[in-house]
Amino acid sequence: MIRILFADKPENRPRYEGPLTRAIAQTGIVAEIVQPGETDPASVDYIVYSPQGPVQDFTPFTRAKAVLNLWAGVERVVGNETLTQPLCRMVDLGLERGMVEYVTGHVLRYHLGLDATLAAQDGVWRHDTGVPPLARDRSVVMLGLGALGRTCAEALAGLGFKVTGWSRTPKDISGIDCLSGPDGLHAALARAEILVSILPDTPGTTNLLNSETLALLPEGARIINPGRGTLIDDDALLAALDAGRVGHATLDVFRVEPLPPEHPYWAHPKVTVTPHIAAESRAETASEVVAENIRRGEAGEPFLYLVDRSRGY
Ligand code: NAP
The CATH class of the 93-273 domain is: alpha beta
**Average pLDDT value over all residues in the chain:** 97
Which pLDDT score, from 0 to 100, does residue 129 have? 79
Beta bridge partners, 163, equal 140
Asked if 99 and 152 touch (Cβ cutoff 8 Å), the reply is yes
Q: What are the pLDDT digits (tens) for 251-270? A: 999 999 999 999 999 999 99
- Please give the model's pTM, rounded to 2 decimal places: 0.97
Q: Answer whether residue 87 shows pLDDT above 90.
A: yes
| Domain residue ranges in the chain | 2-92+281-299, 93-273
Which pLDDT score, from 0 to 100, does residue 128 have? 84
> What separation in Å is there between the alpha carbon of 199 and the centre of ligand 1?
4
Quick one: average pLDDT of 289-296? 98
Has 309 been annotated as catalytic?
no
Q: Which helix (H) or strand (E) holds 295?
A: helix 283-299
- Nearest CA among 102, 87, 92, 74 for reference residue 48: 87
Q: Best substitution site from 75, 92, 93, 167 to test ligand 1's pocket, by max atoms within 8 Å of Cβ?
A: 167
Q: Give the homologous superfamily in CATH for domain 2-92+281-299.
A: NAD(P)-binding Rossmann-like Domain (3.40.50.720)
Instruction: State phi, psi for 107 to the nearest 5 degrees.
Output: -65, -45
pLDDT tier, 130 (very low <50, low <70, confident <90, very high otherwise):
confident
Q: What is the DSSP string of 80-112?
A: -TT--S-EE----HHHHHHHHHHHHHHHHHHHH
